[in-house]
A = this chain, B = another copy of it.
Amino acid sequence: TALKLGMIPADGIGKEVLPAAQRVLEALGSSIPKTTFIPLQAGWEEFNRNGKALPDETVKILKEECDGAMFGSVSSPSHKVAGYSSPIVALRKHLDLYANVRPVSSVSIPNQKSYHQCDMVIVRENTECLYIKKEEISTNPDGSKKAIAYRQITSNASSRIGKMAFEIALRRGAEREAARKAGKEVWWNGEPKVTIVHKSNVLSVTDGLFRESVRAVKEGTDRYNGVKMEEQLVDSMVYRMFREPEIFDVAVAPNLYGDIISDGAAALVGSLGLVPSINAGDDFVMGEPVHGSAPDIEGQNIANPIASIRSAALLLSSLGYVEPASRINAAVDTVLAEGEYLTPDLGGKSSTTDVTDAVLKRL
């Protein structure tokens, strides 16, 4: 079999880190099926060129031809631009990539303070909440304006993201168990745990529904008996994450809270440039570094390629190529632990290319 991957660099440093990930995938040689990379367009720059942030062609090729995809990062205008709408939000919807899975774990880099031990996965609902982008605005007779956005939470979307979270918690528990048996050091000794993040003290109906739907996932089966379930209000979650991130295993959250806490978690491990994600549905997976398009450093070859490379590893592993994915992750960890090739976000002086070369060498 052969593999076809859609590659959507989009804007800014997406155009630098996605090729880095592609080089790493190419270097895997025969340990993965022969892979074709299909370059696809989307983004703010594409909108300015051709009037569409997400060309139909891109969606069509992804759906009909690709086994998976990698997305770079998008720039967005901060004001409303007629006809423009975030292509990443649209892609998640079109391909029903209902989960955004973001593993965040602390790395040991020489000479870098690392605040806390942290090894968590944020499972972000990816299709609804305020991201349905249903908004209205009206003007009062006195010229003042009133705008409304709709925040949608459904039991179906909440259940399936809850299920995803519990499955990930189970798998992590099993992996830790296996590692322990193999004599490796595993710092988390407790049972697997899912923390439900919400704000049901204010949003008793919508977040109440999210909370109940996720709770029902565990309560409806014996399968998750070994997984603990806890809750945190989103404000308290941000507070706790910064005080004692080591207490979290898997966190599951509605879309916007998930967005916010994953950026917060990224700060804990030193840089957004390290944090990968996959947008996952039942039929399709798209890797995406958590960082943005960073126009301030675009074109300088200094963007950290690691988030993108790790996203490629996540993509591979969810396509079933677990061993080559581990090889990528091990190579990245080695590069970080050596501390010789680091981009400026990590206090280093290396270029995107240098770091990618270093990873390739250690594959």
A interface list, Cβ under 8 A from B: 76-81, 86, 89, 115, 130-131, 133, 135-137, 144-156, 199-206, 208-209, 211-212, 231, 234-236, 238-243, 256, 259-264, 266-268, 272, 292
Contact = CB atoms under 8 A, between A and B. Distances in A.
Nearest to A115: B115
A135 B79 contact: no
5 contacts: A79-B200, A89-B202, A135-B203, A147-B152, A147-B153
B292 A268 contact: no
Contact of A150 (B115, B148, B239, B262): B148
Contacts of A240: 267
Contacts of A154: 144-147
A242 B89 CA distance: 26
A144 B155 contact: yes
B267 A242 contact: yes
Given A144-B156, A146-B152, A238 B264 contact: yes
Given A234-B260, A238-B263, A239-B264, A202 B147 contact: no
Contacts of A208: 78-80, 147
Contacts of A81: 204
Contact of A135 (B78, B155, B204, B268): B204
Contacts of A235: 259-260, 262-263
Across the A-B interface, the 4 shortest Cβ-Cβ residue pairs: A135-B205, A76-B201, A242-B267, A235-B263
A32 to B, nearest CB: 33
A55 B208 CA distance: 25
Contacts of A267: 238-243
Nearest to A143: B155
B292 A263 contact: no
B136 A205 contact: yes
Contact of A147 (B209, B234, B292): B209
A267 B116 CA distance: 14
Given A235-B263, A238-B263, A239-B264, A147 B200 contact: no
A257 to B, nearest CB: 8
Given A89-B202, A146-B154, A149-B205, 13 more contacts: A76-B201, A78-B201, A130-B202, A133-B202, A135-B203, A135-B205, A137-B205, A145-B154, A149-B150, A199-B256, A238-B263, A239-B263, A260-B260
Contacts of A256: 199, 202
B239 A137 contact: no
A53 B206 CA distance: 21
A204 to B, nearest CB: 4
Given A242-B242, A259-B235, A267-B239, A145 B209 contact: yes
